[in-house]
Structure 1
Amino acid sequence: MRCEICGKPISGKPIRTKVDGAVLDTCKECSKLGRIQKAPPQRQIKRKTAKKQSTQKYQRKRDEPSEEIVENFGNICKQARESKGWSREQLGEKIQEKVSVIKKIESGKMTPELNLAYKFEKTLNIKIIEKVDNLDLEQFKTSSSGGLTLGSIVKIKK
């Protein structure tokens, strides 16, 4: 291996040195030009345990229904707020959110994250989060004669 500054062959292990923001493998002489970097500690992972846990998490997550926000969430939130006689400012104080965020959500320009949607549901006493069952794609592969298409697995909401 050669020094990345002077190009001389390095005998032994190179020294990692930070010079002007760049971390380089240098010889002992060139390491004085910068700041010597310590090697990050290496973590040891027990492969059997980690693999087993990740498989279990994947299994549970796939089997559980996921949560999605309904399409007309903005209108639902706006109607609920207006029916309570609250302004956007008042709602913002109650759920501790900016008025601009509430305005974007009500207009449909922004889809709220699930934690914010929960705040809307609890405060306004509405339902904008629905549970969606995960589909088993294997059943469609075997039953379809022409192969799997997008139309085979899409649920159309009316």
Structure 2
Amino acid sequence: MRCEICGKKIVGKPLKTKIDSSVMEVCRECSKFGKIIREPTTPRKKSFRKPQKRSRRPMDTVYEVVEDYGRIIRTEREKRDWSREDLAERINEKVSVINRIESERMEPDIKLARKLERLLKIKLLEKFEADDLEKSEGGGFRGATIGDIARIKRG
């Protein structure tokens, strides 16, 4: 395992450390930048209740707006002979927002994309499972650590 701050390989067990309201697993050297969170040392009392079946944690779903969303929205709006003002009024948005979305200077957030999907009967959002993204990002790249981004002043 590698330190989430400096990226060095951690020998032994990493230290869970709270740094600016984030809990990270770090090496001993980087643990001085926050407060070490201690694991409870007292054993838990055994329960005599029937053990519950563990359900798998639901996978996090990530939505992304499709490529060429501006053209798709403009084409469907023009098919209905609506102006940008008409579309903006129907979804309770400003005309400037519609202008920026259609020119692809602004990507609609999930809520706005769903409004447009329902009104124009189009597909703007692609669904990804978080596990699929992690698998595709694999390939030997260990990912960036905070230490790769920020220079840490030592000493």
Q: TM-score, normalised by structure 1?
A: 0.49
Structure number, greater radius of gyration: 1
Comparing both chains, which one has the higher relative contact order based on Cα–Cα distances under 8 Å and sequence gaps of 6 or more? Answer: 2
Whichever structure has more helix as a proportion of its residues is 1
Q: TM-score, normalised by structure 2?
A: 0.49
